[in-house]
Amino acid sequence: ALLVKEKKGVVTLTLNRPEVMNSLNFPLLHALRDQIESLRFKPNIRVVIITAAGEKAFCAGADLKERATLAPDQVREFIFTIRNLFTSIEQLNKAVIAAINGIALGGGTEMALASDIRIASLNATMGLTETRLAIIPGAGGTQRLPRLVGRGKAKELIFTGQRIGAREALNIGLVNKICEPKDLLAETQKMAEMICEAGPIAIEQAKYAINNGLETDIHTGLGIESNAYWVCIPTEDRL
């Protein structure tokens, strides 16, 4: 369900269920969780790329065929598992790039939101469509989307459940960059290589300062930044 490729400090995780639009079931969630947690303790890995097999979909969200077989308590377990997985992606001490190669709905968009940088192919479609299924985004979408695109736009997208294309996603700041489908992996790799040129502890501390500082007032955020800077000073890279 998950393909893993490592090259020159970059690990590419490829969701490999193209026959079901790379939708998320328990085995895929568990495979992703195990990989993310193992990468946390590999200092030679600098960047993680998350993408998907096939040309049609990045991830269509939860596997609704599996969901139909689950008892309510199992649904709660699924939501708990996916929410914790995406939080671990967000808090991973590496840069994470989502290469969105097609349809990304529900949990697919939420996985992209948990990544640090999002690059989308021009055929990508994104959206938090859960309210159309009489549920709400449950893997961080109600929290991460407004922090990225603003409260009003996030409410519009979530309340209507509408899907947007790559160009609109770029215009509202949902993705960092768009490109032709054939160029997606090359563009993502190029970004990863630029990050690999930077100091690894600096990247880790910058990510920590941004993620945690944004959740506070600016004075507390500046204190977080200072402490993160102090960690960089004695490093061999800086010296």
Let me know: does 209 contact 203? Beta carbons within 8 Å: no
Question: From the candidates 106, 107, 138, 141, which is the catalytic residue?
Answer: 107
Between CA 84 and CA 11 the distance in angstroms is: 21
Is position 127 annotated as part of the catalytic site?
no
Is position 130 annotated as part of the catalytic site?
yes
Between CA 104 and CA 22 the distance in angstroms is: 9
Cα–Cα distances in Å, from 9 out to 55, 139, 189?
26, 28, 11
Question: From the candidates 52, 57, 62, 228, which is the catalytic residue?
Answer: 62
Residue 24 one-letter amino acid: L
Question: From the candidates 102, 106, 127, 130, which is the catalytic residue?
Answer: 130
Is position 77 annotated as part of the catalytic site?
no
Between CA 146 and CA 141 the distance in angstroms is: 8
Question: From the candidates 61, 110, 114, 120, which is the catalytic residue?
Answer: 110
Angular region, 7: left φ>0, alpha ψ -120 to 50, beta rest: beta
Is position 110 annotated as part of the catalytic site?
yes
Between CA 45 and CA 60 the distance in angstroms is: 28
Looking at residue 24, the DSSP 8-state letter turns out to be: B
Q: What are the residue numbers of the active site?
A: 62, 107, 110, 130
